[in-house]
Structure 1
Amino acid sequence: MSISEPFIKHVEDLAQRGPFGNGCVNVGLSFDGYHMPHQEVERLFRRALKAGIKLITSHSCNFGPSVPKALEKYSLFPSPEDDYTIVISHGNYMDDGDFSILKEHRVPLACTPATEAQGSMGWHLLFEPGLISALGADCHCLTS
């Protein structure tokens, strides 16, 4: 199982051509494939960051491996000197180990309580002590 070279080249091309909209829009990367081999995940992240990606987002739900644990295992969390950010979405099924990792690396969690309730995703973590969290609206079709 691998991430296709054409996809990675497309990400690189978009990142290198940006920012767009007179500097108002930068390309980010959304990635949920932590079931893939470590080398593939690392290859995508390293090349995207080298091309200029500044924001990587990942869903942390009740499918696949733990996103915080995978990011830590693969050494993909940004250091204070790096100029990119990782944002985790939802996170309703995370355990105390996941919380500790997010707190240690100061990685923000985007919470969408209306979507999470509508989708039966568990209790939202917007006010979880010690986490950096943000309130989001997600998509209109799930919350209307």
Structure 2
Amino acid sequence: MIVVFQDTARAKRIAEPALNCTFSEPMIGLVIERDGVDVGSVILNGYTPGCNIDLTAVGRGAWTPFVVRDIARYCFARVKRITARTSVENKPAIKSLTKLGFKPEGIMRDFFPGGDAICMSLLKSEQRLIRL
């Protein structure tokens, strides 16, 4: 069974070593747990109530349609826009974000230690993940 719940400290412990970075407050951390084992986390930062939230996600085998809908429902109850960034080299992530309805907005040069990032967003008014 997969469960998504808010636990910022635990989400940071999962995400920071996986991404080789640190996150700072203010932020919200969600943990994705499968059968009692942590399989992923989502860090939501850059939160502007009613406007935008930045999404950073890590984990393999965690992104079932149920989990994605749960995260979208959580975010869109608070904001009208979700922003996500990934490496321009991370083709699987770009493909997944595109399938979910995210649209590319531009390239952020030298954003990650290893190179450029693509910035993508999903608007509440355009999303097809949850019923409003």
- TM normalised by structure 1 equals 0.37
The structure with the greater share of residues assigned to helix is: 1
Q: Which has the larger radius of gyration?
A: 1
